[in-house]
Amino acid sequence: MPTVITNSGYDIGYEEAGSGSATPIVFLHGVGSDKSVWRRQLAHFGQTRRAIAFDYPGYGDSDPAPEGATREDYADAIISAMDKLGAERAHVCGLSLGGVIAIAMHYADADRCASLILADTFAVHPEGRAIYERSFAGSSDLPAMAEARVDVLLAQPADPGTRREVVETMSRIDPAAYRIGAEAVWLANQRNRAEAIRVPTLIICGEEDKATPPILSHELQSMIPGSRLEMIPCAGHLTNLEKPDAFNSIVGQFLTHLN
């Protein structure tokens, strides 16, 4: 897969599809995945506009994250990669950690975000510290943790192919990168940043999401003026993988009213 060199001098992996004059859409993955989880969205949205999925530093095809990297470093890396690819402004769609990074990107430079699409995410998680500590402890054996976590992440009964994809993707993450990503997501407290968002914002959540329960999406909606919340039935935490047609339809309808 191709990479792009950021202003900080390290490569960021990406995958893209489509072109055209419509505003591009950027996809940001969760802590236990990489850009590959967005292929169904790239195929769909690439039919009408440029669609780009990025890896964070340390994930997928990217260079290792620098020691002590933060969610702000992730946000800066994605903004820089967008610049280098000529996508200075985009609709930014992030799931879980991706939603946390999308909020951080808006805080860093709101003009980059034509809109925000925040899926299965939050401003602050009430159990974040405990989840982070479990994630840190389990990072020494990610294949085992993937097997232990997959049935919590997915609504049951899960599609066997989706279950296998989640386990395989999580198993290949570098443990050091996973620990950085886990800190970036689970220890986030971005209430003030969420309350300052003024771009069109769509919030999506699986009705059976156990990792970031619907109440957190309702809270996020209450923080962001004018935001819209859409629930996806029979979906857990990974709505874009579990129910790609429903996910794509909801996002597509949202974008219909924008450029």
Which positions ≥6 away from 170 have C-beta within 8 Å? 32, 33, 142, 143, 145, 146, 149, 150
CATH number of the domain where residue 130 is located: 3.40.50.1820
Residue 208: give the domain boundaries: 3-256
Nearest to 29 by CA among 203, 236, 237: 237
- Please say if the pLDDT value at position 206 is more than 90: yes
Q: What is the arithmetic mean of pLDDT over 224-246?
A: 98
Q: What is the arithmetic mean of pLDDT over 80-102?
A: 97
In this structure, are residues 239 and 247 in contact, taking their beta carbons and an 8 Å threshold? yes
Q: How many domains does the chain have?
A: 1
Separation of alpha carbons 243 and 249, rounded Å: 10
Q: Strand, coil or helix: what is 44?
A: helix
Which positions ≥6 away from 114 have C-beta within 8 Å? 23, 89, 90, 91, 92, 199, 200, 258, 259
Least confident piece of the model among 64-73, 134-143, 187-196 = 64-73
pTM, 2 dp: 0.97
Q: What's residue 165's pLDDT?
A: 97
